[in-house]
Structure 1
Amino acid sequence: MWSRGPRVAHLWVRRSFIGGGAAVHLNENNEKTSNTRTVEERIQKCDPVKISRKVVSDSDKTSLNLRLYQYQTCPFCCKVRAFLDYYGFSYEVVEVNPITKTQLHFSSRYKKVPILVAGGEHLLTESSLIVSILSTFLHRTNRSLDDVIRCYPEITVNDPKTQKEVLRYPNKYYVMLEDVRLSDEQIQNAREEREWREWVDEHFVHLISPNVYRSWAESLATFRWFSEVGEWHEAFPLWERYLAIYVGAAVMFFVSKKLKKRHGIIDERAAIVDACNQWLAALGDRSFLGGDKPNLADLALFGAMNSFYGCATFEEMLERTNIGGWFERMRSEVESHAGSALIRQRSG
């Protein structure tokens, strides 16, 4: 099993309204301008963005008015979409140009995707944090989104590699329940879910770029595929589309080599095959890591894998491992919004 750093203790079983009101907005005070314009006002002040598509769910009566700023094939964005679709959230999608990022001008400090704007007021960042916040929101039906956000305080730490201060969210893999007493089995299941969610972020995701951008030809083919599935011909002008394809392919080809070296990857295909087999070993004879239904770790890995669905790496992964059965079960669950009973309960 992949080893992890120190855990934050027992937050799953305790009611944890930990202080720190500016939990998620990338430090709310920094994200707001001096005249405290809302996120929606800042979005309107910038050039109008094109809504790529709207996902409407009859089950969602939460009035969260979610808007996802994303790259269609970014693994972190795919993780968020897998969660939103499985539980049946309604949301808008804005496709961000990966080179110019003009769609993110409203966000003064944070320029990474995914960004999820809720109600034109809350700017949520970091895929695992977004998932934990919304999962807690679904489970704690008597709490507002503001209340839930306060469960996820930020801390500032010094990055030993860059010697710069960075924001961290110690609770980002935790779903915060009300005061309940969990059985030993439930506690173990929650711990397993957290560990594998972190494994997806800290291990599996790092294997994707060295594989899909392995050669110049593969990198260019990948970006052409991204342009097709992301419908860039609808979202961007012609010159922006070609800039994104060719500059993006060149940049990521070289970036992938640096990532391969940084993470000590010798054979990128063997590494991703080994990761799939680690996951299958953890599944055992279960349909999903969550048992009869997916948990947040299942959704995280499915989203990450879906980010390179259609690429040569994905096809080779299916040929060399038995992960295809799990992936198809997950796709069926996500596309059918199999978890929507929870959002209907919240909407009621």
Structure 2
Amino acid sequence: MNHRTVTNVVHRLAKFVCKWNTRQNIPVSLNRTYSSTTTRTTPFSTRFSKYGLFVGASTLSSLWFGKVIFAEENAQPCDSENSPSVWNILVDDTKSTNAAELKEEKDLTALTPSGSFRKSLPTVVLFEMESCPYCKRIRVALDYYRIPYSCVQVTAVGKKELRTTGSKKVPVLVVDGVEYHNSFDALWKIQDFADDSLKEDQRTIPTIERKWLYRIDDRLIPLITPNIAHTLSESYQSMKYLLSVDRYSWYERFSVNLLGPFFLYFMGKKSKWSLDIQDERRELFDELNQWMNDVGDRLFLLGERPCLADLCLFAFVKTLQPFDVMTDIKNHTHIMSWFRRMEQVVGPSQKIQNLRPKSSIWMF
């Protein structure tokens, strides 16, 4: 359902009200004059046409918005090994060597890629939504590898900015004119600019990293909605934040303010039932603590440098950072020491500018 359909529905409803006025023989002359002693009473049909249509249109747009508001939650399922959009990756069953035990925190800036080893930087544009965890993982990778990029903020409803691309969902990464619609494909491409010594068929990935790449998509990302909408109060605060960072038109904002928190709350409950979990907070804490158990005494999952699984999990935790659940994560998990190390090595944002596409995305 698009805005044109909503407009047609409201127009037909208005015609029905006009016919209803005629049947009730209610005069609607615009030239009616009233004496000073006459008390003017507004007919019910007039009040209905003024306020009923507005509320009806708001409700219709709210129902429409509820269908697509969090489509990104299930927009990108975890890629299977046979997926044509994912490069063939050889599995290395050998365990990574543990780094020396570190008793104290140290400066990790030396572990950050400098970017000087690349021959030439690509032209990178990211079509994104601020609250999307898949978009955030691409931004984290670009920041970590020190690749400058521009962003196109996509509207939450309708996604008009994606009409000239080959996808209807975010993220879309454009590298030197080539589009990547899958976040894993985008991550591999970004990693290419950091290390182009390996060919596609020579890429290896340790078993533990592969396990967590699947686990983040299969278990952790579906836990976002239940945890940011843990209660109706948290749902209201979460929706308030989402409205502040994502792009909406004025009537979409009105609809979301009216019914958005309720949609978010019930979508959280639906996700909880579909995952067959009793306590979404406990599930989240267990997953994060299991990550720390696998990290062990190393700085990161595989050693002294972050791997793709580190970047993806860091983006996941960054997605939860503005919400109330982050306070519980700090109090009930041991992940904050790793999180602070990741903040240090990822560094500041490499975003150059926000673009507003006109007729074509290739304007840049």
> How many residues of Structure 1 are paired with residues of Structure 2 in the alignment?
247
Distance in 1 between residues matched to 2:188 and 2:164, nearest whole Å: 24
Q: Which residue of 2 aligns with 1:116?
A: 173
The letter of the residue matching 1:288 is F
Q: Which of 209, 216, 224 is the matching residue for 1:208? A: 224
Aligned pairs for 1:20-59 (under 5 A) are none
Bigger radius of gyration, 1 or 2?
2
Which of 179, 185, 201 lines up with 1:129 in the alignment? Answer: 185
- Cα gap change, 1:81/1:248 in structure 2, threshold over 3 Å: closer, same or farther? farther
- Match status 1:313 vs 2:319: no
- The offset of 1:315, in angstroms, is 1.1
Q: Report SS of the residue matched to 1:265.
A: coil
- The alpha-carbon deviation at position 133 of structure 1 amounts to 2.6
Tell me which amino acid in the other structure corresponds to 2:211: E
Q: 2:122 aligns with which of 64, 67, 92?
A: 64
Query: Is contact 1:98-1:244 (8 Å) kept?
Result: no
Counterpart code for 1:62: S
Tell me the alpha carbon deviations over residues 140-198 of structure 1, each in whole angstroms, 9 at most, x when there is no partner. Answer: 2698xxxxxxx5xxxxxxxxxxxxxxxxxxxxxxxx547xxxxxxxx6x6222222111
Using structure 1 for the length normalisation, give the TM-score. 0.62
Residue in 1 aligned with 2:207?
Answer: 191
Q: Judge conservation of contact 1:222–1:311 (CA < 8 Å) in 2.
A: yes
What is the percentage of aligned positions where both structures have the same residue?
A: 29
Assess if the C-alpha contact under 8 Å between 2:226 and 2:272 holds in 1: yes
1:84 Cα deviation (Å)? 0.7
Task: Work out whether residues 124 and 173 of structure 2, in 8 Å CA contact, stay in contact via their aligned partners in 1.
Answer: yes
1:1-348, aligned counterparts within 5 Å? 11-12=89-90, 62-107=120-165, 110-119=167-176, 121-140=177-196, 177=202, 190-228=206-244, 230=245, 232=246, 237-243=249-255, 248-335=260-347
Instruction: For residue 174 of structure 2, give the secondary structure of its aligned residue in structure 1.
Output: strand
Shift of the 10–124 alpha-carbon distance from structure 1 to 2, 3 Å rule, reads: closer
CA deviation profile, 1:291-345 (whole Å, cap 9, x unmatched): 112111100000011012121111111111111111111111111589xxxxxxx
CA 1:107 to 1:252, structure 2 compared with 1: closer, same or farther past 3 Å? Answer: farther
Distance 1:82 1:243 in 2: 32
What is the DSSP-based 3-state SS (H/G/I as helix, E as strand, rest coil) of the residue aligned with 2:127?
Answer: strand
Structure 1 Cα separation of the partners of residues 286 and 223 of structure 2: 11
**In structure 1, what is the Cα distance between the partners aligned to 2:348 and 2:222?**
29
RMSD: 3.2
Cα pair distance change 1:328/1:246, threshold 3 Å: farther
Q: CA deviation at 1:256?
A: 2.0
| Unaligned stretches of 5+ residues in structure 1 | 15-56, 144-150, 152-175, 179-186, 339-348
Determine the C-alpha separation between the residues in 2 that align with 1:335 and 1:114. Answer: 22
Q: Secondary structure at the match of 1:307?
A: helix
Give the letter for the 2:139 counterpart: R
Question: Residues of 2 paired with 1:208 and 1:289: CA distance?
Answer: 22
Distance change in 2, residues 1:82/1:253 (3 Å): same
Q: 1:13 to 1:297 in 2, by over 3 A?
A: closer
Residues of 2 paired with 1:238 and 1:5: CA distance?
36
The 1:93–1:242 alpha-carbon spacing in structure 2 relative to 1, beyond 3 Å, is farther
CA, structure 1 residues 103+243, in 2 after alignment: closer, same or farther (shift >3 Å)?
A: farther
2: CA distance, partners of 1:114 / 1:290: 27
Q: Residue type matched to 1:114 in 2?
A: P
